[in-house]
């Protein structure tokens, strides 16, 4: 596993995940349905915002996986952090659609701000759920 340019063994990664889970426990949702810092409506509004969607799309150009796509195609296609090809115009459950998701999980107190967003292929995004640190 690689994180912040450093390679970790499986055991080191498991230790790091446990440290994060101890330091940032899952927040029991409040009566108003939020994560203690934001409401679900604020989260939904931020992740569907055109501005945030474009910022997450632009951030994909910094990933090494995008280098596999020829530069002339970068206007339409990029790779997400898992190496899946995504397209800006694709929506819903299309083969190349992406969703904006939180890097630091919302359920653990992560804020819905552009710095905490990444673009993920929709199916990968839904497969890594359960508010886990990965």
pLDDT digits (tens, 9 = 90+) for 43-90: 999 999 999 999 999 999 988 877 888 888 989 999 998 889 999 999
pLDDT digits (tens, 9 = 90+) for 6-56: 888 999 989 988 887 777 766 665 545 677 788 889 999 999 999 999 999
Q: In this predicted structure, what is the pLDDT of residue 29?
A: 58
Closest CA to 78 of 119, 37, 109: 119
Q: What is the DSSP string of 3-37?
A: ETTEE--HHHHHHHHHHHHHHSPPPPPPTTSS-SS
User: Which residue, chain included where needed, has tokens 């397209």?
Assistant: 87
Confidence of residue 129 (pLDDT cuts 50, 70, 90): low
């Amino acid at each position: 596993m690689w994180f912040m340019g450093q390679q970790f063994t499986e055991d080191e990664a498991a230790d790091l995940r446990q440290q994060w889970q101890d330091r940032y426990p899952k927040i029991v949702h409040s009566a108003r349905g939020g994560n203690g810092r934001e409401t679900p409506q604020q989260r939904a509004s931020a992740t569907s915002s055109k501005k945030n969607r474009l910022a997450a799309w632009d951030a994909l150009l910094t990933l090494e996986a995008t280098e596999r796509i020829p530069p002339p195609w970068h206007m339409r296609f990029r790779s997400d952090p898992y190496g899946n090809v995504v397209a800006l115009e694709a929506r819903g459950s299309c083969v190349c659609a992406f969703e904006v998701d939180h890097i630091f999980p919302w359920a653990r107190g992560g804020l819905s701000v552009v710095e905490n967003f990444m673009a993920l292929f929709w199916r990968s995004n839904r497969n890594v759920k359960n508010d886990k640190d990965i």
